[in-house]
Structure 1
Amino acid sequence: MKNKILIITGLILAAMLSSCGEDFMEAPAKSTLDEQLIFSTPGLTKGAIDGIIEPMMETNSYRGRFLPFYGTNTDTEYLYDSENDGDAEGELARYVATANNASMNRDDNAWAEMYKGIERANICIRGIRTYGNPEPGTELGQYLGEALTLRAVYYADLIKAWGDVIARFEPINSETVYLPKSSRDIVYKQIIADLGEAVTLVAWPNETNLTTSVERINKAFVKGLRARIAMAASGYQQYPDGIRRSKDPELSVANMYQLALTECQSVISSGTVSLFPTFEGLWRNLNEENYNAGLESLWEIPFADGRGRVTFTFGIRHTSVDQHTAQPRGGQAGPVANLFYDFDEADERRDITCIPYEWGTAVDIGNPEYGFAQQEYTDSKRWYFGKYRYEWMNRRVTSTNDDGMNKIYMRYAEVLLIAAEAANELQGPGAAAPYLKELRRRAFKTTDYATKVDAYVNALGSKQAMLDAIVEEHKFEFTGEMERKQALIRWNLLGTKLAETKDKLINLKARTGEYADVPSTIYYKYAADNETLITYGLNRGEIYNPGPDYTAINWDRVTEDRTNTLYSADPDTKQFWPIWQVFIDGSNNTLTNDYGY
């Protein structure tokens, strides 16, 4: 049974949490239940910690706005609404969002919900420190570590989407209702320090009964998150005065890369997590809703069955109710068309990541509840992410708006790549090689190790060659997880890689350059189950008809509109969204937008 996220109600909610919105027009209501009782009682404290996560579940928060729309339109991912002129969600992806964006400019938006979560974390942190005696190895120590970590998650995502943001590390009072933005460097340093404390408080995966599920915070995740944030803090990003690294010496490459490497090596040497044995198995495990800690997933946003839109947004599209789902959704975004052909054909991640079909309209087979659908190639010109599939789930999704699938927030593969990148910078490519090899071994068959793993990695003889390989490996590993955009920003490659992708799409459409040998016709038939496609012609050079039982169709999945709407403004001038106008207007003149908004 899926572990439902506890939404605070009743006594604890009335006691602790403000009912006011993120506009902070008034301070939180005075507690009607003494904080001393709440934060000296582990059971009540646990409920309060669960309440920190609850704002993620709201429709206009992570659930229906932040996760679906932050991170699309990179060199790997494309939001299909981008090609609809004037579409508010498309504008978010195409780097032309405005402060009045119709999808985002509302007072219960992700910005507001993130700060609601931060306020709840601040109350918990103060309460546990004051009344809880949170020593390492204790239940209340674990909960303090969780509160510090969840606050860091919110702040990391605020910075990722908006750059400089309001720094609030104490509960709101009458004097702090209105605050201006702070330098993100201040926030980075605070949450890196907070995570350093959290590391001493929370347990490793499966070390205690509180860390047996990936829906709760554990030490491997805290260390991995600290490494991720350290890399972002020292990386390139857009500041009001241009794209640069931080000028704060504490956030230098030397300091932050060493911190990241140390934390990643600690996770790796702990043996508490590892790569899932196969890439397909990793994603089947997620879709089957196995939340056991100690596998590859380090922490997941724990959506309940009736909340969350992960498969709803990113899954393989089902056009109607059918044998696999009562929710005909999926396919709002997908891989850019060239990505399939950029993979090595032997890379087992390719056919999990890039799916060229959807599930067609179900036909009546006499079942009173649903019909039977087949996988179909269509003229929709779309690819789909294959990491999220209704057909791999153990339960039938019946909600019209939500699928309940968890969102993996971080996994062990990223720890390996951060370790490789940091080791390469600090010690050279030889030190990075073992981490990159470990990740590639999962991507290829053992018969390919000599060439695809050992020879490939051993040939990376310079820091630049190794970094270039890590950038590519990140692409093939994380497409469809909305991790690519921030990585490209911190490498100072966002605009460059998007421009390259436009050129690639043009060449793919024309079948020229690196795509000259991509077939223009594919051939398909159905397997014995009468629903699964068997296809010839997807791979380069497969140009002949394999037999009379195959059906031939034209294979051109690139359009001018889609190529031209990958971005509509220079991405490097719009790395962040604007703060939405409703929050500017409600800030008592303390908030303004940068970056030309």
Structure 2
Amino acid sequence: MKKILIIIFGIIAGLFTSCQEDYLEAPAKSTLDESVIFSNAGLAKGAVDGIKEPFGQTNSYRGRFIPFYGFNTDTEWNLNSDKENDAQADLMIYDAKPNNSQMNTENNAWSQMYTGIERANICIRGLRTFGNPEPGTELGQLLGEALTLRAIYYADLMKAWGDVPARFEPINSETLYIAKSSRDIIYKQLIADLGEASTLVAWPNETSSTTTVERINKAFVKGFRARLAMVASGFQQYPDAVRRSTDPELSVAAMYQLALNECRDVINSGKASLEPSFQNFWKKYNEENITAGGESLWEIPFADGRGRVLFSFAVRHRSVDQYTGQARGGIAGPLPTVFYDYDESDLRRDVTCVPYQWGTATNGVSKQELISSDTWNFGKYRYEWMKRFVTSTNDDGVNKIYMRYAEVLLIAAEAANELEGPAAAAPYLKEIRKRAFAAADHPIKVEAYVNALNNKQAMFNAIVNEHKFEFTGEMERKQALIRWNLLKTNLEEAKIKMANFKNRTGEYTNVPTTLYFKYKADNETLEIYGLNRGETTNPGPEYSAKTWNSLTDTKVNSLFKTGVNPDNRQFWPIWQVFIDGSNGKLVNDYNY
């Protein structure tokens, strides 16, 4: 049964207390405890599981980082972005302030991430000192997990805040207050740590420890290491400019080669693969199938009563109904133009972009109902695909996918294109597109399409687009746009495209302004006509009509705040409570 363990038993409680002065001045007791815990695989596993506990805290990943980080992009937006002087909206429109009321609390994601890092540091020290963690042993697996979990926390800290304090040893009285470190230093440490971790953890299903995607496995570690290598060598906002790192160890040549090697290791291992059907993959995800060895490489694990992934992002349910005991979902969705960016025969389109919600239930049963053209839902998250009936009022317990095999293929394509040319990238891109189209479409949509990408720039542009089609709704796009140096460019282009969609001009001239709908035989699911370009003829008297042209200039301009350059706001500010509590060590850059 999937779960995230909260470490409460007395023998290790002292290890994970908050950093109080009396704790810091009592190393002898802590060392004695560690010698007991980290020489015993069962106790050590409990301690390593405890590293994951901060993910589930309300103001951590559960209720703040997962719902809010990653917006707004050229493909996704938070539907509250048009609210003025709103703390949540400010996080999305590149106008966050250090005193943001949603985030400026002592128990926010920033502190929870460092709690996880401190727990990881204690586990890593204890396992190295007392555990003899060799490859192929339980203690070796646990050390690899601890190193990887620490890297996850650090990767997300840098994704959201840029340069952050580097803590790779447990806190003591001399290191209670420290300044920020260069992210280049941290990235190099994480890349080295993940290199070690990959020698310690097993492949998916190779041991009993790696049978579920809630435990760290070698395929994930290698894929994650490839992702970090691409990010570390990519463009990002430094205090002086948006640029690549000047550290030669983080050069494009070095990092892309590392990423390509790691991705090829995963691909050639046969230990992970694409689910043959895109829709079936997302159905299995919502059904909470956590078996390792498929497409999902690792997921942030939530217990049934924790986690707000569907609560935040699922197709909206307006009331308790036959599919859910909580009336939620729908705080964010694809931009109105995204559906029309897909090829009409792309099988991912209708899974990803949903133009309806579930209305208010009558006698406990609700029906799908069309929503306006500016409020699409993410279709990857659906209560109606769950096997479990959610009863919590504010948590759904569905895991958050942290990385899947499709990303490994696209990283391999991008790195191979840069280092070896488009022909080397083509097989990886083809594998992604083969799943996206029916077999009858492969000669044109896969083979001819990819074979025509005969130079690096054309292949790169295709990879950028494929990333959108594959990952819309997973909040991976923002960091990718940043490292490609496309954040500002693509956000500005997205505003233009939405204005064209609103006015039905340019590439949206032939998009209908009226939808026609009726209910299928089950009397709850919609049959819709008029979504595709050119579908303008009334299909018959059994259909009802709905105007499909509600997008406003105010909504279009809410993608990012007017007058703000998103490239100058790639990161959130460090929240004021942490600045004030840093003994003068922490400051905000980027003119915050």
- Pairwise TM-score range, normalised by the shorter structure: over 0.9
Counterpart in 2 of 1:368?
none
- The answer (yes or no) to whether the contact 1:167–1:187 under 8 Å persists in 2 is yes
Question: Match of 1:304, SS?
Answer: coil
- The answer (yes or no) to whether the contact 1:337–1:557 under 8 Å persists in 2 is no
Counterpart in 2 of 1:403?
396
Query: 1:87: how far off?
Result: 1.1
Q: Is 2:53 the partner of 1:54?
A: yes
Aligned residues: 588
Residue identity in the other structure for 2:223: G
Query: 1:174: how far off?
Result: 0.4
Q: How many Å separate the matches in 2 of 1:573 and 1:247?
A: 19
Counterpart in 2 of 1:204?
203
Counterpart in 2 of 1:382?
375
Counterpart in 2 of 1:309?
308
Q: How many Å separate the matches in 2 of 1:301 and 1:140?
A: 22
Counterpart in 2 of 1:484?
477
The superposition leaves residues 441-483 of structure 1 with CA deviations (integer Å, 9 ceiling, x where unpaired) of 0000000000000000000011000000000000000001000
Counterpart in 1 of 2:265?
266
Counterpart in 2 of 1:164?
163
Question: Match of 1:34, SS?
Answer: helix
Counterpart in 1 of 2:419?
426
Q: How many Å separate the matches in 2 of 1:29 and 1:89?
A: 42
> Which residues in structure 2 correspond to 1:350-361 (within 5 Å)?
350-361=349-360
Counterpart in 1 of 2:586?
591
Q: How many Å separate the matches in 2 of 1:562 and 1:299?
A: 35
TM-score (norm 2): 0.98
Uncovered stretches (5+) of structure 2, i.e. residues with no partner: none
Residue identity in the other structure for 1:470: I
- The answer (yes or no) to whether the contact 2:12–2:33 under 8 Å persists in 1 is no
Residue identity in the other structure for 2:147: L
Counterpart in 2 of 1:295?
294
Q: How many Å separate the matches in 1 of 2:91 and 2:22?
A: 28
- The answer (yes or no) to whether the contact 2:355–2:373 under 8 Å persists in 1 is no
Counterpart in 2 of 1:15?
14
Residue identity in the other structure for 1:433: A
> Which residues in structure 2 correspond to 1:133-532 (within 5 Å)?
133-364=132-363, 371-379=364-372, 381-532=374-525
Q: How many Å separate the matches in 2 of 1:424 and 1:381?
A: 36
Query: 1:34: how far off?
Result: 1.6
Q: How many Å separate the matches in 2 of 1:153 and 1:487?
A: 17
Counterpart in 2 of 1:97?
96
Question: Match of 2:208, SS?
Answer: coil
Question: Match of 1:326, SS?
Answer: coil
Counterpart in 2 of 1:582?
577
Aligned CA distance change for structure 1 residues 430 and 380 (closer, same or farther; 3 Å): closer
Q: How many Å separate the matches in 2 of 1:308 and 1:356?
A: 25
Query: 1:380: how far off?
Result: 7.8
Q: How many Å separate the matches in 2 of 1:377 and 1:218?
A: 42
> Which residues in structure 2 correspond to 1:76-155 (within 5 Å)?
76-155=75-154
Q: How many Å separate the matches in 2 of 1:380 and 1:424?
A: 37
Question: Match of 1:433, SS?
Answer: helix
- The answer (yes or no) to whether the contact 2:355–2:377 under 8 Å persists in 1 is yes
Question: Match of 1:489, SS?
Answer: helix
Question: Match of 2:51, SS?
Answer: helix
Aligned CA distance change for structure 1 residues 184 and 26 (closer, same or farther; 3 Å): farther
Question: Match of 1:487, SS?
Answer: helix
Q: How many Å separate the matches in 1 of 2:50 and 2:190?
A: 20
Q: How many Å separate the matches in 1 of 2:402 and 2:144?
A: 17
- The answer (yes or no) to whether the contact 1:77–1:479 under 8 Å persists in 2 is yes
Question: Match of 2:209, SS?
Answer: coil
Q: Is 2:532 the partner of 1:539?
A: yes
Question: Match of 2:411, SS?
Answer: helix
Q: How many Å separate the matches in 1 of 2:75 and 2:372?
A: 21
Residue identity in the other structure for 1:417: L
TM-score (norm 1): 0.97
- The answer (yes or no) to whether the contact 1:17–1:29 under 8 Å persists in 2 is no
Aligned CA distance change for structure 1 residues 545 and 154 (closer, same or farther; 3 Å): same
The superposition leaves residues 498-535 of structure 1 with CA deviations (integer Å, 9 ceiling, x where unpaired) of 00000000000100000000001110000000000001
Query: 1:27: how far off?
Result: 3.5
Residue identity in the other structure for 1:376: E
The superposition leaves residues 241-300 of structure 1 with CA deviations (integer Å, 9 ceiling, x where unpaired) of 000000000000000000000000000000000000110011001100010000100000
Query: 1:80: how far off?
Result: 1.2
Q: How many Å separate the matches in 2 of 1:302 and 1:374?
A: 31
Residue identity in the other structure for 1:461: N
- The answer (yes or no) to whether the contact 2:141–2:202 under 8 Å persists in 1 is yes
